[in-house]
């Protein structure tokens, strides 16, 4: 099996470019000035990508994206605060679990997984609960691929004088996020989604004054985002061993993003991938879970065909043998599987994938 040429149609880790992988070939001394400079370049580029250079700072932290979310919540929301979590999928539920483990008082608005969060509900909750201090939103819910209305919710949160913490894990780098348009106190994302790098580092783009005033809030040592920020500001160095090669790959990936034309160009490529995917899969008899209007061009969810001859595992293996890796479903509402359209892939790859799906379908007689 040609595993070296495997194309990952998953929402991270995803298919990376040869240049990004090549950036990992050298060694770095973590406290040497070369790596200090690389870190500073990384922080500057990440804050710039959110248009936050004047107001925000980027604080990278090693680990999966969830660690960065946990660091942000645990450092920015104190025990006397109250967090409203807007939930329409598994990643929203994860924020709830993080807050509960941190013993932060939570309020929850739960909506259906195939629909965006209802902004009227957010407004009502904030009007009726003055004790809510922070609101957590997942921008693109990767559970289904549904896009939540960031701009509207950010403006409501600001109007009520509360702080927005955004999980932009699967959107930052492609979908428009501008802190001068959408007031965002803290935005969390990671290296291995729309930034198209390898996994291993998350980061928080946070208002400078907010992080500066968040000393001694975090109950965790290694996930204390304020301490992490303070170390960067004081010495330019990471507190603990940084994933040096992962940082180098991410900086290279950010240069490639710039070269591509920035997030608008990347969004166009993803949109084209998604358009082809949805049209092609529909032609092959698959039904997409989401209405077109609420589908982010990140990952699509397809209903498992009801025909009993369709077995996901067989379908998965059949695509794998053709060089494509897809993702099982995550929504609890229906049986489904997911196909991502992010990563270093273009419409040619999508066309080859659709050919592979049609072959996989024919290979098994009476498939469905």
Ligand X SMILES: *Cc1c(COP(=O)(O)O)cnc(C)c1O
Interface with ligand X by CB under 6 A: which residues? 11-12, 64-66, 91, 138, 142, 167, 169-170, 190
- What distances in angstroms separate CA 151 from CA 77, 179, 181, 183, 238, one per listed residue? 22, 10, 7, 8, 33
- Please report how close the Cβ of residue 160 comes to ligand X at its closest, in angstroms: 24
Between residues 14 and 125, which has the closer beta carbon with respect to ligand X? 14
- Residue 112 CB partners (closer than 8 Å, separation 6+): 88, 333
Between residues 269 and 330, which has the closer beta carbon with respect to ligand X? 330
- Please report how close the Cβ of residue 274 comes to ligand X at its closest, in angstroms: 16
- Please report how close the Cβ of residue 38 comes to ligand X at its closest, in angstroms: 22
- Please report how close the Cβ of residue 201 comes to ligand X at its closest, in angstroms: 10
- Please report how close the Cβ of residue 13 comes to ligand X at its closest, in angstroms: 9
Between residues 66 and 273, which has the closer beta carbon with respect to ligand X? 66
35-41: long-range pairs with CB below 8 Å, 24+: 35/242, 35/244, 35/247, 36/235, 36/236, 36/237, 37/236, 38/247, 38/248, 38/251, 39/232, 39/236, 39/237, 39/238, 39/242, 39/247, 40/236, 41/251
What is the Cβ-side half-sphere exposure of residue 267, based on CA atoms within 13 angstroms?
11
- Please report how close the Cβ of residue 202 comes to ligand X at its closest, in angstroms: 7
Between residues 138 and 251, which has the closer beta carbon with respect to ligand X? 138
Burial 268-296 (b: 16+ CB within 10 A, else e): ebbeebbebbbebbeeeebebbbeeeebb
Between residues 175 and 179, which has the closer beta carbon with respect to ligand X? 175
Between residues 36 and 76, which has the closer beta carbon with respect to ligand X? 76
């Amino acid at each position: 099996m040609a595993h070296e040429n495997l194309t990952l149609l998953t929402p991270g880790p995803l298919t990376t470019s040869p240049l990004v992988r090549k950036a990992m070939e050298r060694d770095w001394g973590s406290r040497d000035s070369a790596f200090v400079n690389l870190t500073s370049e990384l922080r500057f580029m990440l804050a710039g990508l959110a248009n936050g250079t004047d107001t925000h700072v980027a604080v990278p932290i090693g680990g999966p994206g969830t660690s960065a979310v946990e660091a942000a919540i645990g450092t920015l929301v104190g025990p006397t605060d109250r967090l409203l979590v807007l939930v329409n999928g598994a990643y929203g539920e994860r924020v709830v679990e993080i807050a509960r483990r941190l013993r932060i008082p939570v309020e929850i608005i739960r909506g259906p997984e195939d629909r965006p969060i209802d902004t009227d509900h957010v407004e009502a909750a904030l009007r009726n609960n003055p004790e809510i201090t922070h609101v957590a939103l997942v921008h693109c819910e990767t559970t289904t691929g549904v896009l939540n209305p960031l701009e509207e919710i950010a403006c409501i949160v600001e109007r009520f004088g509360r702080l927005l913490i955004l999980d932009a894990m699967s959107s930052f780098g492609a979908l428009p996020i501008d802190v001068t348009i959408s007031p965002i106190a803290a935005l969390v994302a990671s290296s291995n989604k729309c930034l198209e790098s390898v996994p291993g580092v998350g980061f928080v783009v946070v208002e400078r004054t907010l992080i500066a005033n968040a000393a001694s809030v975090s109950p965790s040592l290694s996930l204390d985002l304020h301490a992490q920020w303070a170390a960067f500001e004081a010495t330019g160095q990471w507190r603990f061993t940084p994933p040096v090669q992962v940082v180098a790959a991410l900086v290279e990936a950010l240069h490639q993003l710039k070269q591509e034309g920035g997030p608008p160009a990347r969004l166009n490529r993803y949109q084209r991938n998604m358009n082809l995917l949805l049209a092609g899969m529909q032609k092959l008899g698959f039904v997409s879970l989401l209405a077109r209007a609420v589908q982010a061009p990140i990952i699509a969810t397809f209903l498992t065909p009801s025909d009993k001859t369709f077995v996901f595992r067989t379908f998965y293996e059949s695509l794998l043998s053709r060089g494509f890796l897809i993702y099982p479903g995550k929504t609890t509402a229906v049986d489904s599987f997911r196909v991502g359209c992010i990563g270093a892939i273009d419409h040619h790859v999508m066309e080859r994938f659709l050919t592979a799906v049609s072959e996989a379908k024919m290979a098994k007689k009476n498939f469905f």
